[in-house]
Amino acid sequence: MSESPTFHGTTILAVRRGDRLVFCGDGQVSLGNSIMKGRAVKVRRLLDGRVLTGFAGATADAFTLVEKFEAKLKAYNAHLERAAVELAKEWRTDRYLRRLEAMLLVGDASLTLLISGNGDVIRPDGDAIAIGSGGLYALSAARALLRHTDLDAETIAREALRVASEIDIYTNDQFVVEALPSTAGPEEGGA
């Protein structure tokens, strides 16, 4: 066991259905075996709401990476994939950045990606992807709901995260939801 406890555990889920993208994250911040905070915001909008991001891992590390990612988006004219690849390259090769312990999910109107410190930029095969300690539980539930129901993306994201919160001790049921509006009509509000 390490000498100093680290912040860890969370669940971030991205669900895409039709032309709607929803990111949902829980609010729990844990320090060792204790819950330090229950309503943290780990899902955010970037570039005037055109890009969503969610993070899992060490909080300060994640904030640093989100800031770097937003700078890459600005440098590459909001081209999500290019910004993600450039961040992954820098994260992997920079002496300071490669020590950061976090993962990011990012998405825009047409693409969702996972970015890791190993240099990975992963586009999911399906319409859902998740990170964090409860990520596999949320992803499994989301895939089942996508396959076997006609529920909308937000309902699927909330229900899948609810499943994860009932299984993973580092995931709670205080969700933050952000959605990119449908390109076909007026913006619908996210929670």
Q: In what order do the strands lie in the sheet with 121-122?
A: 43-46, 51-57, 102-107, 112-116, 121-122
Q: How far apart are CA 186 and CA 164, in angstroms?
A: 31
**Gap between the Cα atoms of 86 and 67, Å rounded:** 13
Q: Within 10 Å of residue 48's Cβ, how many Cβ atoms?
A: 7
Q: 95-133 b/e with 16+ CB inside 10 Å = b?
A: eebeebebbbbbbbeebbbbbbbeeebeebeebbbbbbb
Is 10 part of the annotated catalytic residue set? yes
Q: Pick the catalytic residue: 6, 10, 149, 183?
A: 10
User: What does each C-alpha distance from 67 to 72, 84, 155 come to in angstroms?
Assistant: 9, 12, 29
Strand (E) or helix (H) holding 7:
strand 7-8
Any idea which residues carry the catalytic annotation?
10
